[in-house]
Chain A
Amino acid sequence: DTGVSQNPRHKITKRGQNVTFRCDPISEHNRLYWYRQTLGQGPEFLTYFQNEAQLEKSRLLSDRFSAERPKGSFSTLEIQRTEQGDSAMYLCASIEQEEGDNGYTFGSGTRLTVV
């Protein structure tokens, strides 16, 4: 078990392009979270899944953002028509639901730069 894995580590894209990030959670973890972190701020909740069901989405997640978790395993986060304001670190975390309120383990993150 190598922990939560995120790819790519870095992504530079031109404004208006679409990007997709992938997160592979710890294998037995049924909950998966996406957060976004901008410089000088703490991580902000975007959305989370329990197995394959997307249970909640933040208001931060505009309709240009979509997340999926097919078969309850890995998850993807897609941003369409990227804007400079989307530049941030995108973090994924997973947890086994039965662990209750244990803290999350984050992946290494994907740093997005929109130019």
Chain B
Amino acid sequence: QKEVEQNSGPLSVPEGAIASLNCTYSDRVSQSFFWYRQYSGKSPELIMSIYSNGDKEDGRFTAQLNKASQYVSLLIRDSQPSDSATYLCAVTGRRALTFGSGTRLQVQP
């Protein structure tokens, strides 16, 4: 079992819709959770962090965390074609952040 699992996608949504990206993790001691956005050929860019159970909203982005279920999600409201990218989930590990393989999101105009 991978430490951080994500559906590779692609997840295709129409412009203006809500995109829902999911991530599960295996290490119960993980305390901090992050979402990165990565455009093709570029390095990952941090877009959201969440540390406690519940929802955290930042503009069009909402991160959701459920530590009991070891589940993190990212919602993108009013999706735009510029949101088309790979979204990486990352969790704190024993020494460094551990990343999932990412979910590719395609927003159709």
Query: How many residues of A are in contact with the other chain, CB < 8 A?
Result: 24
| A105 adjacent to B46 (CB under 8 Å) | yes
Contact residues in A for B8 (Cβ distance below 8 Å): 40
- Given the interface pairs A43-B99, A48-B96, the reply to whether A107 lies near B43 with Cβ below 8 Å is yes
B31 contacts the other chain (CB 8 A): yes
A101 to B8, CA, bound (A): 26
Beyond known contacts A101-B92, A106-B44: 5 more, CB 8 A cutoff: A41-B101, A43-B99, A45-B96, A108-B42, A108-B43
Could you tell me the distance in whole angstroms from the C-beta of A106 to the nearest C-beta in chain B? Answer: 4
B34 contacts the other chain (CB 8 A): yes
A102 contacts the other chain (CB 8 A): yes
**A residues apposed to B, CB below 8 Å:** 33, 35, 40-45, 48, 55-56, 89, 91, 100-109, 111
A41 to B4, CA, bound (A): 12
A89 to B86, CA, bound (A): 15
Measured CB to CB, the nearest residue on chain A to B51 is: A101
B88 contacts the other chain (CB 8 A): yes
| B46 adjacent to A109 (CB under 8 Å) | no
| B101 adjacent to A101 (CB under 8 Å) | no
- Given the interface pairs A101-B32, A102-B49, A103-B34, the reply to whether A42 lies near B99 with Cβ below 8 Å is yes
Measured CB to CB, the nearest residue on chain A to B94 is: A56
Contact residues in B for A105 (Cβ distance below 8 Å): 46
Contact residues in B for A101 (Cβ distance below 8 Å): 31-32, 51, 92
| B101 adjacent to A42 (CB under 8 Å) | yes
**By CB atoms of chain B within 10 A, which of A43, A100, A101, A108 has the most?**
A43
| B43 adjacent to A56 (CB under 8 Å) | no
Contact residues in B for A102 (Cβ distance below 8 Å): 32, 49
| A106 adjacent to B43 (CB under 8 Å) | yes
Contact residues in A for B96 (Cβ distance below 8 Å): 33, 45, 48, 56
| A42 adjacent to B34 (CB under 8 Å) | no
- Given the interface pairs A42-B4, A42-B101, A43-B44, the reply to whether A103 lies near B95 with Cβ below 8 Å is no
